Amino acid sequence: MEHVAGNWLMGFSKHDKSLILMGVAAMVWALWLSRNEVVFYHDNPKTYMQVIYRGTYWCRSWALLQRHEAAKEKLVQACRHLEKVVMMVFAHNG
């Protein structure tokens, strides 16, 4: 999957790259699950905010599988930060 991400990961360590890609995978998984609900269960489409929060949920869940406590904490902090940014964006822009 690293080749898909292109050169923007070049400045990160190998370990940080894997954490970033895991976060990206969680977001893609959340988008995929939301899409499946619309297609197969005829559910209403989710908002951007709902999809992002679902992605951070999966990222936090997968963070528990990390061997090192520091990696777990990085992922949880990244999720918190993303949720704060999303809240600010939606609070200002609706």
Taking the domains of the chain in order of start, what are their residue ranges?
2-93
Predicted confidence at residue 6, as pLDDT, reads 65
Distance CA 85, CA 28 (A): 19
Burial of 75 (0-12, 13-18, 19+ CB in 10 A): buried
Provide block-wise average pLDDT over 10 residues at a time, the chain (94 residues): 68 92 96 98 95 98 96 97 95 82
Distance CA 55, CA 72 (A): 16
Predicted confidence at residue 5, as pLDDT, reads 55
pTM of the predicted structure, to 2 decimals? 0.85
Cβ(30)–Cβ(54) below 8 Å: yes
Tell me the one-letter amino acid at 21. L
Burial of 59 (0-12, 13-18, 19+ CB in 10 A): buried
